[in-house]
Amino acid sequence: MALCCSLSNEVPEHPVVSPVSGSVFERRLIEKYIADNGVDPINGKEITVDQLIEIKAPPIVKPKVPSATSIPAVLKSLQDEWDAVMLNSFTLRQQLQTARQELSHALYQHDAACRVIARLHKEVSTAREALATLKPHTGFTAVTAPSVATSAEAGGVAAQPIEAAGLTPEIISQLQDKATVLTQERKRRGKTVPEGLATAETIKGYKILASHPALHSASMPGILTMDVHSADTSHILTGGNDRCATVFNKDTEQVVAVLKGHTKKVTKVLYHPEEEVAITASPDATIRVWNITSSSQSAIIRTHDGPVTGLSLHATGEYVLSTSLDQHWAFSDIRVGRLLTKVVDTDGNPLTTAQFHPDGLIFGTGTQDSQIKIWDLKEQSNVANFPGHSGPIAALSFSENGYYLATAAEDSCVKLWDLRKLKNFKTIQLDEGYEVKDLCFDQSGTYLAVAGTDVRVYLCKQWETLKTFNDHTALAMGVRFGNHAQSVASVSMDRTLKIYGVE
């Protein structure tokens, strides 16, 4: 005869009997009742849990549920079990493949790190020998000892020499050869308009094609800077307040990579024109070189003692120029994260921005006291100054023709300078209170884009406003042209990347 619980009227799984009333109960139910009331539920007499007597009973075999008693129900149950087994098998195969890939990547990282360390040991000796042969230049102060650069290729980290390696004759020859080639190419192109270049009338008809608000964290909103891959302008690199850089494909509308490593906001980014390499800078005083494919750091360059404010890649694709509020500009090798030379501003002013001339032998810097300075890279000396702005210099951009320089500060105007005559030949006066955050010539030097309170595109030489975009709800922080100016991209403090073009 089956036992029955006096409380639930069901067959108990763990039956016990009360010595007070002689009744049978389910253990968990009677224990809870006694804990709450302290008496037997049948006769109300006092009882404790220790007084309960366990009954040894055979295990209960529960009858099958009615749904499993028919053949169709049994077949469905078997089918469900089979489906679950197949899904579990697929998950296990995926996990196995992931584990194999991670193991392969770890082995590659170890091998690459060993090779980097061996190469860096050799380069340290070479750099010290080159430094010993350097002769001091006049007109500048070179910093040779306060900086440390580190390289971290494929996950390994190797220490760099703390002193600047200097511009060796080989590097100077490389820079000169590249400048000669670029100058010859520019002369060969002459004034020919590139095939496929968007016309002024086409740009006047540009409309917003897409708006992407989810590239950076909403908890720390704001995109501060951007750059476009010159060979594949569908790939866009952005840097934000969330301390990350993001690589985005505007054609597929997919995030390609998220680059995390800076400890403060990312204020400057560069996309290597020929490789899947990104360079980022931050007020955390570091410059980081990234392998976009693996989303990993390949070098960390620590050349400055203050926030990095300017970043520009040399035309060789091997070296990066940086400026900082520590009053210095620096020239570094991005392949090994090595500082080559570091020079203090001639007037001791904090530097706010930097840009290489298209030929790469000269570059411009902006200062907090509204000065634009032109420097000779080989001589590491200040060769020209352009006064005229008021307030810190916010942005500068060289035209591809090599003759024009566009600059902006906190005075609501854009000034155009002729590098041949070393004078200001045009000032574009903007609305009162207009803030300029970025300037950019297109690859042909035909158009100039301005980002700030809004986004504007000007036709060079006539300096006519072709189009004004007012789609951002906050300051536009960066702007770039697509291939042949067939599109325009801008980023803003409203956390969006917007693409303009012809529908």
Q: Is 203 helix (H, G, I), strand (E, B) or coil?
A: helix
Residue 446, SS3 per DSSP = coil
User: Which is it for the CA torsion 43, 44, 50, 54, positive or negative?
Assistant: positive
The class level of CATH for 176-501 reads mainly beta
Give the architecture-level CATH label for domain 1-61: 2-Layer Sandwich (3.30)
| pLDDT at residue number 52 | 93
Nearest to 476 by CA among 462, 459, 458, 495: 495
* Separate counts of helices (H) and strands (E) for the chain: 4, 33
Cβ neighbours for 186, distance < 8 A, ≥ 6 positions apart: 358, 400, 401, 402
**The two three-digit tokens of residue 39, written as one number:** 């008496």
Q: Domain extents for the chain? A: 1-61, 176-501
pLDDT recorded at residue 372: 93
The pTM of the full predicted model, rounded to 2 decimals, is 0.67
- Per-residue pLDDT, 143: 37
What pLDDT does 444 receive?
86
Residue 68's pLDDT is what?
63
Residues 6+ apart with CB under 8 A from 144: 131, 163, 164, 342
The amino acid that residue 356 corresponds to is: F
pLDDT recorded at residue 400: 86
Q: Please tell me the predicted confidence (pLDDT) of residue 48.
A: 92
Determine contact, residues 144/164, Cβ cutoff 8 Å.
yes
The pLDDT score that the predictor gives to residue 64 is: 60
Q: For residue 425, how many other CB atoms are within 10 A of its CB?
A: 10
Task: Give me the sheet containing 244-249, strands edge to edge.
Answer: 223-228, 235-240, 244-249, 254-260
d(CA 128, CA 132): 6
Cα–Cα nearest to 216, from 271, 283, 262, 155: 262
Distances (CA, A) of 125 to 3, 163, 260, 366: 90, 12, 32, 35
Nearest to 406 by CA among 420, 390, 421, 425: 425
d(CA 105, CA 298): 15
Tokens 């956390």 belong to: 495
pLDDT score recorded for residue 152? 40
Q: Please tell me the predicted confidence (pLDDT) of residue 235.
A: 93
The answer to whether 491 touches 223, Cβ cutoff 8 Å, is yes
Beta-strand runs (E) in 314-454: 319-324, 328-333, 338-344, 351-356, 362-367, 372-376, 381-386, 393-398, 404-409, 413-418, 423-429, 436-441, 447-452
CA distance 138 to 58: 101
Q: Is 309 helix (H, G, I), strand (E, B) or coil?
A: strand
Under 8 Å between Cβ of 482 and 444: no
Residue 121 sits at φ, ψ, to 5 deg, of -60, -40
| Per-position pLDDT tens, the chain of length 503 | 578 898 888 888 899 999 999 999 999 999 999 999 999 999 989 999 999 999 988 877 666 666 666 888 888 888 989 989 999 998 999 999 999 999 999 998 999 999 999 889 888 888 877 776 653 333 333 333 333 333 343 343 333 444 677 888 899 999 999 999 988 888 777 677 788 899 999 999 999 999 998 789 888 888 999 999 988 889 999 999 999 999 999 989 899 999 999 999 999 999 999 999 999 999 999 999 999 999 999 999 999 999 999 999 999 999 999 999 999 999 999 998 889 999 998 888 899 999 999 989 999 999 999 999 999 998 889 999 999 899 999 999 999 888 899 999 989 999 999 998 889 999 999 988 899 999 999 988 899 999 999 999 999 888 899 999 998 989 999 999 998 899 999 999 988 999 999 98
For residue 27, the model assigns a pLDDT of 92
Taking Cα atoms as reference points, which of 29, 360, 20 lies closest to residue 176? Answer: 360
3-class secondary structure, 7: coil
